[in-house]
Structure 1
Amino acid sequence: MDVRRLKMLLELSRLGSMHEVADEIGTTTSTVSQAIAALARDVGTALIEPDGRRVRLTPAGHRLAEHAVTILAAVDAARLDLDPDAEPIGVVRVAGFATAIRRSLMPVIDDLRHVHPGIEVRVREHEPPEALASLARDDVDLALVYDYNLAPASWRSDHDTTALWEVEWGLGMPTSEPRAPLATFADRDWIVNSRHTADEEVLRTLASMAGFTPRVVHRVDALELVDDLILAGHGLALLPRGRTSRRGVTVRPLTDPTVRLRGYAATRRGRDRWPPLRALLNRLPQV
Structure 2
Amino acid sequence: MFELRRLRLLHELALRGTISGVAAALAYSPSTVSQQLAQLEREAGVPLLEPDGRRVRLTTQGRLLAAHAARALELDEAARAELSSSSHREESVRIAVMPTAAEALVPPALTLLADRMPGLRVEMVQMAPEEGLFELQARAFDLVVAEQYSGHTRELRDGIDRTLLGSDPVRLAVPPSSSATALSELRDSAWVMEPEGTAVRQWAVQQCRSAGFEPDVRFEATDLIAHARLAAAGHAVAVLPDLVWTGERGSVRLVELPGSPVREIFAATRSSSRDSAAVAAVRDALADALTAHRPR
Q: State the shift of 1:126 in Å.
A: 1.1
**Following TM superposition, by how much is the alpha carbon of 1:107 offset from its aligned partner in structure 2, in angstroms?**
2.2
Distance 1:182 1:83 in 2: 52
Contact 2:129 2:147 (8 Å CA) reproduced: yes
Check 1:248–1:265 CA distance in 2 against 1; reply closer, same or farther (3 A cut).
same
CA 1:108–1:138 in 2, change beyond 3 Å: closer, same or farther? Answer: same
Name the counterpart of 1:228: 229
Unaligned runs of 5+ in 1: 2-74
Q: Which SS does the other structure have where 1:190 is aligned?
A: strand
Alignment of 1:112-127 (within 5 A): 112-127=113-128
* Change in CA separation of 1:208 and 1:115 when aligned onto 2, cut-off 3 Å: closer
Contact 2:171-2:239 within 8 A present in 1 as well: yes
List aligned pairs for 1:1-287, cutoff 5 A: 82=83, 84-155=85-156, 159-194=160-195, 197-241=198-242, 243=245, 244=247, 247-255=250-258, 257-285=259-287
Report the Cα distance in structure 1 between the residues aligned to 2:128 and 2:257, rounded to whole angstroms: 24
- Alignment CA distance shift 1:175-1:280 (3 Å): same
Cα-to-partner distance string for 1:180-232 (whole Å, 9 max, x where unaligned): 33222222221111386222222222122111122222111222321232234
Query: For the residues of structure 1 that align with 2:207 and 2:144, how far apart are their CA atoms?
Result: 28
Q: Secondary structure at the match of 1:211?
A: coil
- The aligned counterpart of 1:62 is none
Instruction: Give 1:113 deviation, angstroms.
Output: 3.9
1:79 and 1:241 map into 2 onto residues whose CA distance is 38
Where 1:89 maps in the other structure, the secondary structure is: coil
Structure 1's consecutive aligned runs of 4 or more residues displaced over 4 angstroms after TM superposition are 78-81
| Superposed displacement of residue 95, structure 1 | 0.7
Note if contact 2:95-2:122 (Cα within 8 Å) is conserved in structure 1: yes
Deviations 1:27-55 (A, max 9, x none): xxxxxxxxxxxxxxxxxxxxxxxxxxxxx
Asked whether the equivalents of residues 129 and 196 of structure 1 are also in contact (C-alpha less than 8 Å), the reply is no
1:85 to 1:180, Cα distance in 2 relative to 1, 3 A: same
1:206 partner amino acid: Q
Q: For residues 216 and 132 of structure 1, what CA distance do their matches in structure 2 show? A: 27
Distance between the aligned counterparts of 1:148 and 1:119, measured in 2? Answer: 32
- Aligned partners of 2:180, 2:120: CA distance in 1, in Å? 49
Q: Unpaired runs of 5+ in structure 2?
A: 2-75, 292-296
Looking at structure 2, the residues matched to 106 and 187 of structure 1 have their Cα atoms a distance apart, in angstroms, of 39
What does the per-residue CA deviation read over 1:52-111, in whole Å, with 9 as the maximum and x for residues that have no partner? Answer: xxxxxxxxxxxxxxxxxxxxxxx9xx7686254331532210110132234443323244
Q: What is the aligned-residue RMSD (CA, Å)?
A: 2.9
Matched-pair identity in %:
26
Secondary structure, counterpart of 2:287 in structure 1:
coil
Letter in 2 for 1:264: F
Which structure would you say has the larger Rg?
1
1:158 offset after TM fit, Å?
6.0
Counterpart CA distance in 1 for 2:91 and 2:197 is: 31
Distance 1:134 1:241 in 2: 27
1:170–1:239 contact (8 Å) kept in structure 2: yes
Over 3 Å counting, the alpha-carbon distance change for 1:198 and 1:272 in structure 2 is same
**Residue-pair matches, total:** 211
SS at match of 1:167: strand
